[in-house]
Amino acid sequence: MFSRFSNPAKFEALAGKIAPAAFIIFAASALIGVVMGLFVAPEDYQQGDSVRIMYVHVPAAWMALASFSFIAAMSFVGFVWRHNLADLAARSAAAPGAAFTALALFTGAVWGKPTWGAWWVWDARLTSVLVLFFLYLGYMAIWQSVQDQARAARFARILALVGAINIPIIKFSVDWWNSLHQPASIFRADGPTIHTSMLIPLFALVIAYMALFTWLVLTGVRADLINRRLEARQLRAPSRPVGETELIGGEAS
């Protein structure tokens, strides 16, 4: 399956169809989620209107972890099969993943101020998301520190894999260390414990975030592929007088 779509031409054909579809799904479900979350869903009897932060916060926290899992999976594919596209996908996922993580941290702080009375609490989940954010920063720093992308990819893979192996341990350590956070209330054996009117906007936004992530990653990979082709063309092109070089980008092919 991976080998099939590691062919850039096939990938681009597929991504060209999926990316616009993902964007439409994102726009539609974000609209549903935001409207229902803001106006239809009831306020919480204890937390009041601040419960609405949950619709932004919970999907962001899930996507923070899901994006890193994606990076790790792609790095594994890159590590074993040496597929170039897998590395590009992992790289394109890093910035959205870090953004989701930052969003989860920020909305967590905004929610924590009225609820816990403090912007930041050294609670287990907050802390492990913060550590995850540092992991994202290190991963992106590695990509930035090498000029040659193929070479950078091979360093980045190692860090992503070691990071992925360590995430459960970090999570476990931080849980042991301290937990004030409420236990999970959506995925439980006896069914969800929050009301359907709150679940619909929540899941609409989960779908919106996933679609956004898909769109960003696919677009990132396509942009990388186009950039690479442009560079290759520039290398192949005969040398020109200095004044003409900036025309190459706008040249019709």
Partner 1 sequence: MIFARALLTRDLGIAMRSGGGWFYAIMFFSVFAALAGIAIGPELNALASAAPAINWLAAAFAIQLTVADTFEADFRDGSLGILAAEQESLFPYFLAKTMLVALTAAAPMVAASPVVMTMFGVAPEKLFGAAVLLAIGAPALVLTALFAAALTAGLRAGGLLAVVIAAPFLAPPLIFGVLSIETYIDQGVFWSPETLILAALSLFMSVLAPPFSVIALRLGLE
Which residues make up the interface to partner 1 (CB under 8 A)? 131-132, 134-135, 137-138, 141-142, 145-146, 151, 154-155, 158-159, 161-163, 165-166, 169-170, 172-174, 176-177
| 3-state DSSP percent of the chain in helix, strand and coil, to 5 | 80, 0, 20
Contact 59, 184 (CB under 8 A): no
Shorter beta-carbon distance to partner 1: residue 58 or 142: 142
For every residue of 197-223, DSSP letters joined together read HHHHHHHHHHHHHHHHHHHHHHHHHHH
Nearest-approach distance from CB 135 to partner 1, in angstroms: 4
- Both structure tokens of 128: 């492990």
Nearest-approach distance from CB 232 to partner 1, in angstroms: 21
Q: Which residue's entry shows tokens 């681009």?
A: 12
Nearest-approach distance from CB 75 to partner 1, in angstroms: 12
Shorter beta-carbon distance to partner 1: residue 34 or 170: 170
φ, ψ of residue 38 in degrees (nearest 5): -85, -40
Shorter beta-carbon distance to partner 1: residue 24 or 158: 158
- Pick from 17, 94, 109: which is nearest to 63 by CA? 94
Nearest-approach distance from CB 123 to partner 1, in angstroms: 14
Shorter beta-carbon distance to partner 1: residue 5 or 79: 79
Nearest-approach distance from CB 94 to partner 1, in angstroms: 14
Shorter beta-carbon distance to partner 1: residue 56 or 90: 90
Nearest-approach distance from CB 162 to partner 1, in angstroms: 5
Contact 35, 204 (CB under 8 A): no
Shorter beta-carbon distance to partner 1: residue 119 or 134: 134
- Using CA atoms in the order 24, 6, 226, 158, what is the torsion angle rounded to 10 degrees? 100
Ranges of H-type helices in 36-148:
54-81, 84-116, 124-145
